[in-house]
Amino acid sequence: MKKLKYFLVLMMSVLLAVVSVGCGSKPLSAQDVLHNAKDSNTLTWGVKADTKLMGLIDVKDGQEKGFEIDMAKALTKKILGKNGKAKFVTVTSQSRIPLLKNGNIDAIIATMTINAERKKVIDFSDSYFDAGQAILVKDGSPVKSVKDLNNKTVIGVVGSNSVENVKKYAPKARVLQLQDYAQALVALKSGQGDALTTDNVILAGMAVENPGYHVQGSAFTTEPYGIGINKDQPALRHALNKAIKETEKDGTYNKLIKKWFGNVPGFNYREVLR
């Protein structure tokens, strides 16, 4: 009898433990991401690792560097306080939304344009950067504008909207899609395409490091970048928008624009000051 009682008590405690663990891992939609970030004093950001000037891992020290990295750090401090930590997880154009939806990251700050299609699956902060799509070509290229890409091959990246955009301007262009911008640039340099297309700011970062290549003409679309977050996170969205405004008001924003773009040939930083 005593044994049975002991057994029952043991079973009850196991059951209780299972139930409480289950509650701790509520589905993401039922969690308050901002609340969790405050608890852990950490915001986990999805950032690019292959996009010089915006988000790039420096091979010398393994650190992420770029305008978006600095913005993420500044926003984290504004939201969590000066000891708040910004943690970085590398994403590509293709992996950023799935990683957010799985809960691997709290927010995406990775050259992602706010658009209607993406708004069906995630939410966005207000825009924190104004980019525009353009093309990168080899010096002396006969491709003078996006329209010249008809019957030519244009290189892009999977998961970016640039590939669809370019089809509107050059419907007969052939498109070669690579996994990330590092691979796309290698493809252009090895002659697998006549131009590489994505946002002007990303192309400017490539041109800086690759003499003999330049951004051709001006941007032919507008690409407002937003921070991607999961749906039903009004507190996080509000906190991000407030923090973005603060960086604009206190001069942090323009300071970072000048730091990263002040000296980049072919990119007029004055146009993106706020």
Query: Where does this chain touch ligand GLU (CB under 6 A) — which range of 111-119, 136-144, 147-155, 214-222?
Result: 111-119
Q: Which residues between 40 and 99 bind ligand GLU (CB under 6 A)?
A: 93
Could you tell me the smallest distance in angstroms from the CB atom of residue 140 to ligand GLU?
26
d(CA 146, CA 8): 74
Q: Which residues pair with 55 in a beta bridge?
A: 51
Three-state DSSP class for 127? strand
Three-state DSSP class for 179? coil
Q: Which residue is nearest to ligand GLU (CB)?
A: 160
By CB under 6 A, name the one of 111, 125, 216, 233 that touches ligand GLU: 111
By CB under 6 A, name the one of 90, 125, 160, 200 that touches ligand GLU: 160
Q: Which residues between 204 and 223 bind ligand GLU (CB under 6 A)?
A: 223
**Helical ranges in 170-220 per DSSP H:** 181-189, 200-209
By CB under 6 A, name the one of 112, 178, 240, 243 that touches ligand GLU: 112
By CB under 6 A, name the one of 90, 197, 198, 221 that touches ligand GLU: 198
d(CA 212, CA 194): 14
Q: Note whether 200 binds ligand GLU by CB under 6 A.
A: no
240 contact partners, CB below 8 Å, separation of at least 6 = 75, 79, 107, 125, 126, 227, 229
* Amino acid letter for position 122: I
The residues that touch ligand GLU, with contacts defined as CB under 6 A, are 93, 111-113, 157, 160-162, 198-199, 223
